[in-house]
């Protein structure tokens, strides 16, 4: 697994630690879970946009084919 290192300002670092503590997680696990959730959201939003464009332009694509 690749290791990434990021610098957080003090305020954000404290927020991450507090959120992880509230969820009884390590800060590393909290950040990993948060990144996975955000990436899934981005991928879902992108797929919705693609589906919308394809549906909106189906007739045009058929004429061009």
pLDDT tens, residue by residue, 6-51: 899 999 999 999 999 999 999 999 999 999 999 999 999 889 998 8
Task: Assess if residue 57 is contained within a domain.
Answer: yes
User: What separation in angstroms does the CA of 21 have from each of 37, 45, 48?
Assistant: 18, 30, 34
Task: Assess if residue 4 is contained within a domain.
Answer: no
Task: Assess if residue 38 is contained within a domain.
Answer: yes
Residue found by looking up tokens 């990021």 in the block? 6
Which domain range does residue 19 map to?
A: 10-64
Q: How far apart are the first and last CA of the chain?
A: 44
Task: Assess if residue 3 is contained within a domain.
Answer: no
Residue found by looking up tokens 């061009």 in the block? 64
0.85 surpassed by pTM: no
Task: Assess if residue 5 is contained within a domain.
Answer: no
Task: Assess if residue 16 is contained within a domain.
Answer: yes
CA dist 65 and 60 (Å) reads: 9
């Amino acid at each position: 697994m690749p290791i990434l290192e990021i610098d957080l300002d003090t305020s954000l670092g404290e927020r991450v630690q507090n959120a992880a503590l509230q969820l009884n997680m390590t800060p590393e696990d909290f950040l990993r879970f948060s990144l996975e959730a955000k990436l899934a959201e981005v991928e879902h939003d992108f797929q919705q946009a693609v589906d919308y464009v394809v549906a909106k332009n189906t007739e045009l694509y058929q004429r061009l084919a």
